[in-house]
Amino acid sequence: MKINEVTVGGPCWVEHASADPGAAKRFYGELFAWRAEAGESPGTDGYTFMTLDGATVAAVTPLEGEGQPTAWTVSFAVTDADASAAKVAAAGGSVLAGPADVSDLGRFVLAADPSGAVFALWQARGLPGVGLLNAPGALGWVELLTRDTAGATAFYPAVFGWTVNPSDTYTQWGLAGLDFGGMMAMDENFPPQLPPYWLPYFAVADVDGTAFRAGSLGADVLMPPTSVPDGPRIAVLRDPVGAVFGVYPAGTEG
C-alpha cells in the first residue's frame, strides 16, 4: 500500500478470531516471527497482541459466540465511531455491534457492507492501531471480495471518503489517491455459499518461500504464488485454524 502509517479512513488493525487461539499464535509465530504479548484484555478474555520487532502488528482472540467463524477482521480508522456507524447505516450497511468503548484503548464498531462483508471501525485513544505497515510480517494490503462491486463502489466512498481507481480487471481503494487496497469480483470460481469478505495481505520478503513455509506448517495454499499482470506476485493461504489471508511483496506499492 502507498500509506506507511495509520491514517484516518485507512486500514489500522487486523484481528484473528480463532477457534484455537493457541494454534493461531504458534502458526503466525513460526511464519512471520510474531510474538504473543500478554496484557490487559481489551474487552475479551484471552485477547492477545502480536508483535514484530517490538511493534504491534495484529491480535488473536477467541471466538465470542456460537456460529462465529474463524477469520481475520480488518479495521479502518475513524475519528468518530458513532458518526461513522451512522454513515454505515445511512449508506445501506449494518451495524453488528457497538459503538462501544474498549477500556481506554479506543471505541469500536463491528459493521457489514450491504452485501454482508464484515469489517470494523476503530476510533483510537490509547491504541492508535498497528505500529508497522508494509514491512515483512506486517499488514501490506487489504482486498474486498464481493459479488456486488457496483454497490461497494458506492458504499465505501460514502462511509470513508475513499478514492476509487478502477481498471478492466481490478479496482483499487485509496485516500487522496494513495492506494491501500482493492476489490475483486467473486465469480463462479467461488463457492456460492461463501459470503463476501475482506482479505488481509501481509507483506513478505519472499512470496514463494512464505507460501511453501506456510504449507509445511499446515496451511492450505488456496492460490499458489502467482504474478499478477502489471502487478505484484501474491499467494492466498488458509491457516491451520481456517482463516484466509494473502501474502504480498514488501515494498510493493498499489
**Total domains, the chain:** 1
- What's the confidence (pLDDT) of residue 39? 54
- What's the confidence (pLDDT) of residue 199? 98
Tell me how crowded residue 186 is: count the other CB atoms within 10 A of its CB: 19
Q: Which three cell numbers stand for residue 139?
A: 499488514
- What's the confidence (pLDDT) of residue 41? 47
Cβ atoms of 122 and 76 closer than 8 Å: yes
- What's the confidence (pLDDT) of residue 68? 86
CATH number of 159's domain:
3.10.180.10
Distance from C-alpha of 251 to C-alpha of 171, rounded to nearest angstrom = 20
- Kindly give the pairing relationship between strand 197-204 and strand 244-249: parallel
Q: Which positions ≥6 away from 214 have C-beta within 8 Å?
A: 31, 221, 237, 239, 247
- Geometric angle at alpha carbon 254, from 209 and 217, rounded to 5°: 25
Average pLDDT over residues 207-236: 94
Whole-prediction pTM value? 0.94
Query: Which one of 38-47, 52-61, 97-106 scores highest in mean pLDDT?
Result: 52-61
Q: Which of 229, 231, 48, 73 is nearest to 139 (CA)?
A: 73
**Residue span of the structural domain in which 181 resides:** 1-254
Average pLDDT over residues 195-213: 97
- What's the confidence (pLDDT) of residue 44? 46
